[in-house]
Amino acid sequence: MSLITFAASPLVITPTVRSFTFTPPHRRSNHTVMSAVRSETTSTCPVLTKFQNDCATPTPFLREVANALADDMQAGLAVHGGGDLEMILTYVDALPSGKEEGLFYALDLGGTNFRVRSVQLGGEEERVVATKSEQLSIPQKLMIGTSEELFGFIASKLADFVAKEEPGRFRLEQGRKREIGFTFSFPVHQTSIDSGTLIKWTKGFNVSGMEGKNVVACLNEAMEEHGLDMRVSALVNDGVGTLAGARYWDKDVMAGVILGTGTNACYVEQKNAIPKLQNKSSSGTTIINTEWGGFSKCLPRTIFDQEMDKESLNPGEHLYEKMISGMYLGEIVRRVLLHMFKAGELFGQSVPVKLCTPFAIKSQDLCKMQEDNTDDLSSVGSILYNIFEVEADLKARRRVVEVCDTVVKRGGRLAGAGIVAILERIERETKRLTSGQRTVVAMDGALYERYPQYRQYMQDALVELLGDDLARHVHIKHTKDVSGLGAALLAATNSIY
Ligand code: BGC
């Protein structure tokens, strides 16, 4: 059931804080990020024209997507495996209060990087007294190697990090083990706050033999081998970490959304609205990890999406993620460009060999091209030359920008529909928006952070679906890298001491 009416409304992005709040129409300003698409008649470009039509996401269609997502959320809450969305019970029933004290650690594994952080918490008055972090990139071969290699690497880096700790700034209470909040950003069937088994890999990871294994046990084994006497007190998803870390500073945070290499959304749910929860008498709230990347209904999938999916490491899975997240946008564009080349719509006669290389172009390249404001699209020309070694004339450059815009617009608008489904779910139980209560969605991920056009499309869709009156109470707050703090805080909340 729809809670809202459709209405388009403008938003303003302030350049410093990449968050948005509703702004009344007359204040629409130059800050508003506009699409860099230049109009060109596409009648001579049948492949492009068809692609644009197939990718269209008018408001009524987005409403269908939001409703289908809401149905799948309900089905997943009713029974395990009830819908596309896992709706994972995270065992996070208590969010940080601000009173947490002591030294805690966060390990973050989820994309191309691995991060380790120490946080000295000083309670309500002092909050975060000291924090230190290190980031390392995960060697590609470890992403598709064995679990011993992957967790051995993590444990050795953790051991190096702890060995360098400055005792003056970080103080572990006597008799205590070092406790870790482990952010593991893949679908995990959580069995308690500190254990869970991997459901499947996503985002280009495919470590052998791990599906169905307890990821905390894998880390424990590796830590033992490296002589590390540490304990995982909380196993959390990055969306949960983002929600928890943001809630530490802002009590109105009700959801955590990730729009980066991969995507996900987690939110605060009433326990008595979760039929699959075993303890039926429970009251209060808990955090649900939706794993919305797995959504697959009524999506505008083109032949390019289908082929990319077929050749991916996880065919048939995470179809929504493959349309809206940073890992895939460039690859969809590449496939369309290749098809346009074959149809004689781009780049002349000789095959640009690099155009055949999967994942040659990244979402950050698309963004740079969309931001080219020069008359001759000179950066578009040089980006195409650098990546694909092609000389593109102005007509070709314009067409390429149109393809980028089509993919990014579809992705951003579908992500907006997803956020609306989450907000409406929260609204069902809390009536926050209808009663005018500020409701914050904590947002993290490089795609949201660094792609203004994507952000704008997402925000437009959100307001179109929610309507001005409700949208004015929604705040999308960019909370960069807060999931590490959130994981450390959840380790504190679930400390064994
Ligand atoms: C994973 C989620 C994760 C998201 C963002 C997805 O591929 O399934 O668990 O939260 O990426 O990192």
Please work out whether the CB of residue 186 comes within 6 Å of at least one atom of ligand 1.
yes
Integer distance in angstroms from the first to the last C-alpha of the chain?
46
Positions annotated as catalytic residues are 203, 238
Domain 91-236+481-494, CATH 3.30.420.40 — does that match?
yes
DSSP letter (8 states) at residue 39: P
Q: How far is the CA of 186 from the centre of ligand 1 (A)?
A: 5
Residue 180: beta bridge partners? 105, 232
What is the location of CATH 3.30.420.40 in the chain? 91-236+481-494
Residue 107: beta bridge partners? 116, 182
What is the location of CATH 3.40.367.20 in the chain? 45-89+250-466
Identify the pLDDT of residue 42: 46
Other beta carbons within 10 angstroms of residue 98's beta carbon come to 14
Identify the pLDDT of residue 6: 26
Rg of the chain over CA atoms, in angstroms?
A: 23
CA distances from 483 to 33, 89, 269 (A): 28, 18, 19
- Contact, 327 vs 304, CB < 8 A? no
DSSP letter (8 states) at residue 195: E
For 45-89+250-466, CATH number out of 3.30.70.890, 3.30.1540.20, 3.40.367.20, 3.30.160.250 equals 3.40.367.20
DSSP letter (8 states) at residue 482: H
Identify the pLDDT of residue 113: 85
Residue 439: beta bridge partners? 474
- Contact, 267 vs 425, CB < 8 A? yes
Please work out whether the CB of residue 291 comes within 6 Å of at least one atom of ligand 1.
yes
Other beta carbons within 10 angstroms of residue 274's beta carbon come to 18
Residue 288: beta bridge partners? 89, 267
Dist. CA 408–CA 335, nearest whole Å: 14
CA 252 to chain centre: 20
CA distances from 174 to 99, 106, 163, 380, 470 (A): 20, 20, 17, 59, 51
DSSP letter (8 states) at residue 300: -
Residue 132's φ and ψ, nearest 5 degrees, are -145, 140
Dist. CA 391–CA 28, nearest whole Å: 38
CA 151 to chain centre: 23
How many residues belong to the chain? 497
- pTM, two decimals, is 0.92
Where would I find the beta strands (DSSP E) of 138-252?
178-184, 188-192, 195-198, 230-236
**Mind listing the pLDDT tens digit for each residue in 429-449?**
999 999 999 999 999 999 999
- Contact, 155 vs 226, CB < 8 A? yes
Q: Which of 86, 108, 115, 186 to mutate to test the pocket of ligand 1 (most atoms within 8 A of CB)?
A: 186
Residue 105: beta bridge partners? 118, 180
Ordered alpha helix ranges (H), 79-214: 123-126, 140-143, 147-163
Dist. CA 434–CA 224, nearest whole Å: 52
Please work out whether the CB of residue 322 comes within 6 Å of at least one atom of ligand 1.
no
Pairing status of strand 101-109 against strand 178-184:
parallel
Q: How far is the CA of 478 from the centre of ligand 1 (A)?
A: 17
Q: How far is the CA of 185 from the centre of ligand 1 (A)?
A: 5
Residue 226's φ and ψ, nearest 5 degrees, are -95, 15
DSSP letter (8 states) at residue 82: S
Dist. CA 70–CA 313, nearest whole Å: 28
Q: How far is the CA of 188 from the centre of ligand 1 (A)?
A: 10
Q: How far is the CA of 290 from the centre of ligand 1 (A)?
A: 10
Identify the pLDDT of residue 350: 83
Pairing status of strand 253-259 against strand 439-444:
parallel
Please work out whether the CB of residue 256 comes within 6 Å of at least one atom of ligand 1.
no
Identify the pLDDT of residue 112: 80
Identify the pLDDT of residue 19: 61
Dist. CA 34–CA 450, nearest whole Å: 15
Atom of ligand 1 nearest to the CA of 258: 5
DSSP string, 320-347: THHHHSHHHHHHHHHHHHHHHHHTTSSS
Q: Which of 92, 182, 201, 237 to mutate to test the pocket of ligand 1 (most atoms within 8 A of CB)?
A: 237
∠ CA(276), CA(291), CA(302), 5° rounding?
A: 125
Residue 402's φ and ψ, nearest 5 degrees, are -65, -40
Please work out whether the CB of residue 239 comes within 6 Å of at least one atom of ligand 1.
yes
Identify the pLDDT of residue 43: 55
Please work out whether the CB of residue 264 comes within 6 Å of at least one atom of ligand 1.
yes
Q: Which of 92, 114, 143, 185 to mutate to test the pocket of ligand 1 (most atoms within 8 A of CB)?
A: 185
CA 290 to chain centre: 12
Residues in the chain with pLDDT values less than 50: 1-18, 23-42
Q: Which of 11, 1, 2 is nearest to 474 (CA)?
A: 11
3-class secondary-structure state, position 427: helix
Atom of ligand 1 nearest to the CA of 111: 12
